[in-house]
Amino acid sequence: MITFIFIVLMLALTAIFQDHLDTIGIVINSSILLSAIVIVNFIRTKSDSKFVRGLHTFYIIPVVLLVFKTVEKLSFSIHGRDYDNILMAIDRGFFGANPTVWLYEHIPVMPLFVEIMQICYFSYYFLPIILAVELFIRRRHDHTEDRYTDELEQLRFIMIYGLLTSYLGYFSMPGIGPRFTIHDFWGISKELPGIYFTEPIRWFINLAENIRVGMTNAQAAHVVTRDVFPSGHTELALLSMILAFRFNARARWVILFLGTGLIFSTVYLRYHYVIDVLGGTLLALITLWSAPPLMRYFMGLKRKIGRYLGKA
């Protein structure tokens, strides 16, 4: 329901700002997303097989990725500008310097450390999946299970809810980050060299954010995804760590190590300003506080709709 509502919001913004947007692309993506939500949930009502339960649990991963790629079609186009100058000014006001520059000047560059930090940063894509897979495996399916207290359902809702609220931040204050505004983007590999995996990971992240080898700094800054404030990496890492310990997951210590490194790496590797990290931290806390009552509301609404349709 909450994903459905977010997609409707994107369509509403598209209708309002259609002269500045890739309207056709947004409508196509939204149609795919809405169709996937309806079809998968309909299939789930008709089958209780292990495969269908797995599909219903994990189909949301590609859905969220496509939502993200749709959001990037809106954030910068709606505003026509980036807000990095404000984010940089806040950082300088707090610290009296640019934190990414300060870290480079005060922490000796060690390729092994850079490698570990880049791997931690990349683990963003896997932390919630690792936790979800463990909870899915250990959950004993019960037709009478209470979805208010089921750990996997709580995890799914909190993660998706948190991600979508961070996307609202991208709508509100698009930015490209210090690797473009403060540093020489293509010079980062020379200043912060890794060992084996750093460059392939950087290449993959750049590719996912529309950056191709051979682009100039200006071209890369123009096409890159506006996903700086708040830091979704920080938010998702904190949510993964907190929930891993709340649910006593076996992988909790691995998630803690990767998540802690991930949060530090967002600034160290120049992807984010410190204010982005603080914003992501605050958003994670707000998400944890507001998710339970919101989840209860949606579950109650679902039951009411079910009763209404049953009578009809």
- Closest C-alpha among 38, 181, 21 to residue 98: 181
Q: Taking all residues of the chain, what is their mean pLDDT, rounded to a whole number?
A: 88
Asked whether the beta carbons of 24 and 51 are under 8 A apart, the reply is no
- Tens of pLDDT, residues 222-237: 889 888 999 999 999 9
Extract the tokens encoding 87: 């984010």
Give whole-number Cα distances, 28 to 11, 160, 189, 191, 258, in Å: 11, 21, 37, 41, 36
pLDDT at residue 270, rounded to an integer: 95
- Tens of pLDDT, residues 25-66: 888 988 999 999 889 988 888 888 888 888 888 888 888 888
Q: What mean pLDDT is predicted for residues 68-76?
A: 84
- Tens of pLDDT, residues 109-138: 999 999 999 999 999 889 999 999 988 888
- Cα–Cα distance, 157 to 217 (Å, whole number): 38
Residue predicted with more confidence, 253 or 141: 253
* DSSP-assigned states of every residue in 232-287: HHHHHHHHHHHHHHHTT-TTHHHHHHHHHHHHHHHHHTTSS-HHHHHHHHHHHHHH
Extract the tokens encoding 257: 């190590």
Asked whether the beta carbons of 238 and 124 are under 8 A apart, the reply is no
Cα 296–Cα 298–Cα 304 angle in degrees, nearest 5? 105
Give percent above pLDDT 90 in the chain: 49
Q: Give the chain's radius of gyration (CA, Å).
A: 21
pTM of the model: 0.87
- Tens of pLDDT, residues 160-212: 899 889 988 888 889 999 999 999 999 999 999 999 999 999 999 999 898 99
pLDDT at residue 310, rounded to an integer: 63
Extract the tokens encoding 139: 């959950």
- Tens of pLDDT, residues 133-169: 988 888 765 444 455 458 888 898 899 899 889 988 8
